[in-house]
Amino acid sequence: MTEIPQGESVLIRDVEIGRARVNIRVEGGRIAAIGADVGGEAAVVIEGGGAVALPGLYNTHTHAAMTLLRGYADDMPLQDWLSTKIWPLEAHLTGEDVYRGTKLACLEMIRSGTVAFNDMYFFMEDAARAVDEMGMKAQLAYGFIDLFDEEKREKEIKATEKTVAAIKRRGNPRIRAAVGPHAVYTVSPEGLRWCAEFSRQQNIGIHVHLSETEGEVKDCIEKTGMRPPTLLDKCGCINPRTVAAHCCWLDTADCTLLGDRGAHASHNPTSNMKLAVHRAMPYAWLKDAGAGVCLGTDGCASNNNQDMFEEMKFAALLQKFFWNSQTLLPAEQTLAMATANGAAAMGFDGGRLEKGAAADIVLLDRNAACNTPLHNPVSNAVYSCNGSAVTTVICNGRILMQDRFVPGEEEILAGARTAAAGLLARAAESQTEE
């Protein structure tokens, strides 16, 4: 990877933005100028050759290290999938597994144009190490699950405090901490209130699963007399720092609540379709209510990749199909969900190609079959292309991939294979002992 030193510059020549052929100049990690006459000497020069330039993509909900579980268990009911396959295997994860799995996720995201991600998982200090090395941006949350047990809650509190302190000690502006109360059905009200207060004290984000299934909503009403968003709000977990994943079973009042609180809803269409949650996130209601609406892939066990170009297409199509509207979620709005809206949800400066913005830039091959003909670059990006069209990725002025080359790729792949094999072996050995 090529790090652009502070004060040095990079010049990207001849790229297409909004049907105009322009050059982009980057200085100190920010876009210094865009225009046909922009030039001058630069530390690094990238020949765009007419490539389509887009803002870097922001994946606002994933479990990055679950790349190691890709293809391990598919085509199962959600709760059976979690309780009999995913959770038992995750019990054998190590910090090294999470490091290797997160590096694999970073590689996959970089290759498909993503510059930042919002992650909830375990061993997040090791995830932070991977993100640091790969040059991406990330907001990292330890998955807080107390299962309504006081003793376990205290352990989760200590784990969260330890994770946040470790991430903050890095002093890396690309890597931020968050709290990660898993969901209303896995975290007690006491745990939710603690997460809300800790996030306020630390001025960090909240990353939570919300109203993914109808069963989650019905159970919450039966046990508490409240719908999940109301319960989270009563506990202080719905605010402008909140990214709520899924949000499939929100009603109009729920959407109004999220909008009133300035919260963000992360749409995860591929995972929702694969796990057959039987409803699409009500994008129009959320948008009309003023909530932030962004996009995420979810983890590789339920997607099974981290390609945000695929996610854009599925989001636009699922909204049209489920809500029976050909005009719902057009391409421009879909791209905004994956870029500017995602950056805002995670509290990063990015998602825009304009002077002064963070230099998060993705180049797409204009000669790829998916970009031929190029009547509308945004429509092609959303409906036609996938991540394979990405040739170059820049994050905060740092070149993460150039001409489809990512340094260290073979080592990353080999490390992930070894980690996945070791994880399965430990799980099998445990079953044999039982």
- Provide the annotated binding site for substrate: 90, 182, 212, 298
C-alpha pair distances (Å), 245 with each of 59, 208, 265: 11, 6, 6
d(CA 294, CA 314): 13
Interatomic CA distance for residues 268 and 265, integer angstroms: 10
Query: Which residues partner with 235 through β-bridges?
Result: none
Type and span of the H or E element at 336 = helix 331-338
The annotation places the binding site at 61, 63, 90, 182, 209, 212, 298
CA distance 404 to 167: 30
User: What are the angstrom distances between the C-alpha of 417 and each of 133, 332, 409, 411?
Assistant: 19, 38, 13, 10
DSSP summary character for residue 401: E
End-to-end CA distance of the chain: give it in Å, rounded: 46
The SS3 of residue 130 is helix
Q: How many H-runs (helices) and E-runs (strands) does the chain carry?
A: 16, 15
What three-state secondary structure class fits 107? helix
E strand or H helix at 166: helix 150-170
Q: Which residues are 4's β-sheet partners?
A: none
Sequence-separated contacts (24+) of 241-244 with Cβ below 8 Å: 241/178, 241/199, 241/204, 241/205, 241/206, 241/347, 242/205, 242/206, 242/207, 242/208, 243/60, 243/61, 243/118, 243/205, 243/206, 243/207, 243/208, 243/294, 243/345, 243/346, 244/208, 244/209, 244/210
Q: Is 397 helix (H, G, I), strand (E, B) or coil?
A: coil
Binding residue ranges for Zn(2+): 61, 63, 209, 298
Secondary structure (DSSP) of 261-315: HT-EEEE-HHHHHHTT-S----HHHHHHHT-EEEE----GGGS----HHHHHHHH
The dihedrals phi and psi of 38, each to the nearest 5 degrees, come to -75, 135
Paired strand residues for 206: 179, 242
DSSP tag of 241: T
